[in-house]
Amino acid sequence: MFDYFRESSLDVQELGSEARDNANVYDISYANPNGTRVSAYLIVPHKEGQFAGVIFLHGGEQDRSAFLNEALSLAELGAVSLLIDEPSVNT
């Protein structure tokens, strides 16, 4: 399900963005090797510099927004977060 194929392009597409107090929230999608697209939020702090990175994957009946508040809190501390939808929940 989460295999990585070096020869495959991620084909990242930005679908929209929203400026929040401490970070920008980008609504993105990227290509999944099985031919579908994976929806995600990319949270990037307004600060300059290098950042730690965190990947969030929801559980159960949730979606990528489940950890949005946590990701925004981490952005305030200087971390970039990627919140992905589990590929099977994408339509």
Model confidence over 37-82: pLDDT tens digits? 999 999 999 988 899 999 999 888 889 999 999 999 999 999 999 9
For residue 2, name the pLDDT band (cuts at 50, 70, 90): low
The whole model's pTM is what? Answer: 0.84
For residue 17, name the pLDDT band (cuts at 50, 70, 90): very high
Which residues are registered as beta bridge partners of 16?
A: 27
Percent helix / strand / coil, the chain, rounded to 5: 20, 40, 40
For residue 91, name the pLDDT band (cuts at 50, 70, 90): very low
Residue 88 DSSP label: G
Q: Would 33 be classed as within a structural domain?
A: yes
The pLDDT, as a whole number, for residue 88 is 63
Asked whether 38 and 28 are in contact (CB, 8 A), the reply is no
Could you give the number of structural domains in the chain?
1
**Domain boundaries, position 45:** 13-89
Q: Would 85 be classed as within a structural domain?
A: yes
